[in-house]
């Protein structure tokens, strides 16, 4: 058991086993943070598509962690962190984790849109779905504004063209990202539409919509911006409370689609999170 020091004594607490699904830019950083030590948490293991790359990484940790199948990882974990893809979340991670009654942290949170069945499954099995704030900030203010009347939530996202490569919208519209030499609007629509068009790029707007007025009322404009190397987001919320504007400029991780704040905010979530609701933005 871990020990929490308090004035006048110590309180023992159980260790929570954490499993990580996906060992890309985010998953590896989460494993390193857990290996270095987060009070009350232990890295139970991880799984990924490429076992040959994953196993040497897991063995290189200070306390080597096992490579497990998804089912093995779910059984070994109290909390499962999804750091994979929307498709993997939809087809395997969420159904198996929630059916087993295990808490789930979702980073591909665009995959949560419209999934009332997962909320029902989590409720039935007394587990929770957590959504970290990821690459944006200010969700506490958005949730506060939601208690009253919100008139509109809009978001503008600007990314270097290479950060949008491979997205279904880019492929279907036959957009030549290499030909873009100045800032160009390439998409405008609802959060629901954006999460289908850019499943690996705009999970931030899904988190925003879950915290606020929902994915059909939350709107986003996406720009390819070759002038700057940063991922930039501007959120504007208007309502009876007044006006809230949030601007973030994120340094991309080794994966240009993902800002470093995505894994930093997840590590912060692991350090301070407490259960609150079936789906909880943290």
Residues designated catalytic: 233
Q: Which of 132, 159, 145 is nearest to 264 (CA)?
A: 132
Query: Could you give the C-alpha distances from 155 to 141, 201, 247, in angstroms and in order?
Result: 15, 14, 10
* Secondary structure class of 262 (helix, strand, coil): helix
Separation between Cα atoms, residue 110 and residue 102, nearest integer Å: 20
Strands of 14-122, DSSP E = 16-21, 41-47, 79-82, 103-106
Which residues does residue 233 pair with via DSSP β-bridges, in sequence order? 157, 248
Separation between Cα atoms, residue 247 and residue 235, nearest integer Å: 6
Q: Which of 106, 79, 147 is nearest to 280 (CA)?
A: 106
Q: How do beta strands 231-239 and 9-13 pair?
A: unpaired
């Amino acid at each position: 058991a871990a020990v929490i020091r308090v004035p006048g004594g110590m309180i023992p607490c159980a260790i929570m086993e954490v499993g990580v699904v996906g060992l890309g830019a985010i998953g590896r950083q989460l494993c390193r943070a857990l290996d270095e030590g987060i009070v009350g948490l232990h890295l139970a293991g991880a799984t990924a598509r490429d076992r040959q790359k994953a196993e040497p990484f897991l063995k290189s940790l200070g306390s080597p962690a096992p490579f497990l199948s998804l089912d093995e990882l779910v059984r070994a974990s109290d909390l499962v962190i999804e750091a994979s893809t929307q498709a993997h979340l939809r087809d395997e991670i969420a159904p198996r984790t929630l059916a087993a009654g295990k808490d789930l942290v979702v980073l591909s949170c665009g995959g949560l849109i419209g999934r009332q069945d997962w909320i029902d499954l989590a409720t039935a099995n007394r587990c929770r779905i957590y959504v970290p704030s990821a690459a944006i900030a200010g969700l506490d203010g958005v949730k506060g504004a939601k208690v009253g009347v919100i008139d509109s939530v809009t978001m503008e996202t600007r990314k270097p063209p290479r950060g949008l490569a491979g997205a279904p919208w880019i492929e279907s519209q036959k957009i030549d990202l290499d030909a873009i030499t100045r800032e160009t609007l390439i998409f405008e629509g609802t959060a629901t539409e954006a999460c289908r068009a850019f499943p690996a790029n705009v999970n931030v707007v899904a988190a925003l919509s879950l915290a606020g007025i929902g994915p059909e009322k939350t709107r986003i404009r996406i720009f390819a911006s070759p002038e700057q190397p940063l991922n930039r987001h501007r959120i504007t919320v208007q309502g009876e409370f007044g006006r809230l504007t949030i601007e973030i400029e994120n340094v991309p991780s080794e994966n240009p689609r993902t800002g470093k704040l995505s894994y930093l905010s997840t590590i912060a979530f692991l350090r301070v999170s407490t259960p609150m609701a079936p789906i909880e933005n943290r």
